[in-house]
Structure 1
Amino acid sequence: MAHCEQLPMAASTVDTVLTRMRILDTTLPPRDGVAVFNRVYLTVTEAVDRHIDGGRFPDARSAIALDVRFAERYLAAVDAMEDGRRPPACWRPLFQFRRHPGVRPLQFALSGINAHIGHDLALAVVDTCRTLGCEPVDLEDEFDRVGDLLVSLEERVREELMPGPDLLQIADPLTHLFGSWSLERARDATWAAARALWALRRLPDVAAEFTERLDSAVGFAGRMLLTPLPD
């Protein structure tokens, strides 16, 4: 497989985005919906960083670029919300419901994962290809390895945020919600979307419409994941 051309990198690094996420972790209230997602995303970004440092990515430079571009999409949405600007549709449900008492931590985590993988990851692949002067196929190994770490994140979310057996009455609807969304299916759809967006890069109007519809569809799914549940 061909690797990406060695072009200049952007100023942001994995350490830069990790610092931003750690600041959010210390400043947001623990039960805030954005804080819940930020904690789980911080965990997986730290894992990616360790894997890069340990030489577990075949092309570390491409892995770093993809990881940074991916994180920047989430942090840009947070910045938009904090500045009073309109964030992407995929993130709006989480920002709107972040303090709703009827929404459980698991739902916040799933809604954020849905937005970040279903929308941001596809655009991050395109961003990375433009940064490095390569094609999506050149990033497939890095995409797959990041995806494997995200699957482990989903398992961690299930273990840490699902209620225990003493709360089965609450867990029943949560189990239904958890089963209605699949990270594996979302990852497959994201790779297809990234390839489509790259193929459409010379048709900016069509690419913009595709991106807008992807954003709206992912936002709709995120809103369903945040359906308030009874106590």
Structure 2
Amino acid sequence: MAHCRHVSAAIDSMDTVLARMRALDATLPARDGVAVFNRVYLTVTEAVDRDIDTGRFPDARTASTLDVRFAERYLGAVDAVDDGRRPPACWRPLFQFRRHPQVRPPQFALAGINAHIGHDLALAVLDTCRTLDCEPGDLEDEFDRVGEILVSLEERVREELMPGPDLLRIADPLTHLLNSWCLERARDGAWVAARTLWAMRRLPGMAGEITERLDEAVGFAGRMLLTPLPG
């Protein structure tokens, strides 16, 4: 399979991305909803960085560019809030509910994952194609490999943030919420959205409307994931 034609110098900013995430981890209160998501995402980004360094991606430069463009979407939302601007609709629920005492840590984590995978990933594919002058199909190997690592986000949430089996009953509302969302389906949807938006890039009005609707739909799902729960 063909890979992207690199028309510019290597994008060497994974270190910057990791530094930003580590700074957030060090400064945000541990219970803050954004901090909960950031800790999970930081761990996965470190894993992607290690895999790039050890040659586990078919095209390391393409993988690095995709990961940086992807992370920039999240960090851009953080910057928007810090600057008093509105973040994309997909991120607003997490920032609005980040200190709610009846929203549990797994909800914060999955709401961030929902925003980042459901909305940001598709746009990061487009950003990468523009940066490297290539087609979405040229990124498929790297997208799939990153996707495999991203699945560990959901696994990590369940392993580290969920209550023990003696506390988590089938009737627990948290069980219902977490079982209503699937990362693999979101990832597959992001790939379809990226290819669709790329195909429509010469129709900017329609592509913009689709992007806006995607943002709103993902934001609605995030709001449902952040439903305050008793005790």
Q: What interval of TM-score do these two structures reach, taking the shorter chain for normalisation?
A: over 0.9
Matched letter for residue 213 of structure 1: R
Distance 1:182 1:144, change over 3 A: same
- After alignment, is 75-84 or 158-167 more displaced? 158-167
Query: What residue in structure 2 maps to residue 25 of structure 1?
Result: 25
Q: What TM-score comes out, normalization by structure 1 length?
A: 0.97
Query: What residue in structure 2 maps to residue 38 of structure 1?
Result: 38
Matches within 5 A, 1:5-84: 5-9=5-9, 13-84=13-84
- After alignment, is 46-55 or 156-165 more displaced? 156-165
The structural deviation recorded for 1:171 is 7.7
SS at structure 1 position matched to 2:79? helix
Distance 1:12 1:86, change over 3 A: farther
Matches within 5 A, 1:101-140: 101-140=101-140
Distance 1:219 1:10, change over 3 A: farther
Query: What residue in structure 2 maps to residue 191 of structure 1?
Result: 191
Does 2:208 match 1:215? no
Q: Are 2:11 and 2:61, in contact at CA under 8 Å, matched by a contact in 1?
A: no
SS at structure 2 position matched to 1:165? coil
Instruction: Give, in whole Å, the separation in 2 of the partners of 1:25 and 1:126.
Output: 28
The structural deviation recorded for 1:10 is 7.4
Matched letter for residue 115 of structure 1: A
| Unaligned residue ranges in structure 2 (runs of 5+) | none
Question: Post-superposition, which runs of at least 4 consecutive aligned residues in structure 1 deviate over 6 A?
Answer: none
| Unaligned residue ranges in structure 1 (runs of 5+) | none
SS at structure 2 position matched to 1:167? coil
Instruction: Give, in whole Å, the separation in 1 of the partners of 2:216 and 2:43.
Output: 27
The structural deviation recorded for 1:97 is 0.1
Query: What residue in structure 2 maps to residue 201 of structure 1?
Result: 201
Q: Are 2:169 and 2:175, in contact at CA under 8 Å, matched by a contact in 1?
A: no
Matched letter for residue 26 of structure 2: T
Instruction: Give, in whole Å, the separation in 1 of the partners of 2:9 and 2:73.
Output: 17
Matches within 5 A, 1:124-163: 124-163=124-163
Q: Are 1:163 and 1:171, in contact at CA under 8 Å, matched by a contact in 2?
A: no
Q: Are 1:9 and 1:65, in contact at CA under 8 Å, matched by a contact in 2?
A: no
Does 2:228 match 1:228? yes
Q: What TM-score comes out, normalization by structure 2 length?
A: 0.97
Instruction: Give, in whole Å, the separation in 1 of the partners of 2:53 and 2:37.
Output: 24
Q: Are 2:33 and 2:108, in contact at CA under 8 Å, matched by a contact in 1?
A: yes
The structural deviation recorded for 1:12 is 5.9
Aligned residues: 231
Query: What residue in structure 2 maps to residue 164 of structure 1?
Result: 164
Instruction: Give, in whole Å, the separation in 2 of the partners of 1:15 and 1:136.
Output: 25
